[in-house]
Amino acid sequence: MSIYAYGLRARPLGIGTVPRDFCGFDARYRNEEERIRHGVVFYTRQLTAKEISDFELIIVDINELKEYNYEWKH
């Protein structure tokens, strides 16, 4: 199963702040260079360009998140 990660730039996770069907979340993740300030949210599907834009998310390369490589559990 593929896992896709998206950084929260504008607001923390809450009702209506990300598409509903997420399968995991980590509020600890930060990346100031990419302006990811509110964590990362995980999906088992790729979000559409409209979803990414509407929710002000940014794609995060799952391979850069060592703690989630291959052993990620939901």
In the chain, what are the domain boundaries?
A: 4-68
> Are residues 21 and 45 in contact, defined by beta-carbon separation less than 8 angstroms?
yes
- Average pLDDT of the segment spanning 63-67: 73
Taking the C-alpha atoms of residue 44 and residue 50, their distance in angstroms, rounded to an integer, is: 17
For residue 47, pLDDT over 70 is answered with yes
Taking the C-alpha atoms of residue 11 and residue 1, their distance in angstroms, rounded to an integer, is: 28
Structure confidence at residue 72 (pLDDT)? 47
- Average pLDDT of the segment spanning 1-7: 91
For residue 66, pLDDT over 90 is answered with no
**Residue 54, token pair as written in the block:** 């509407």
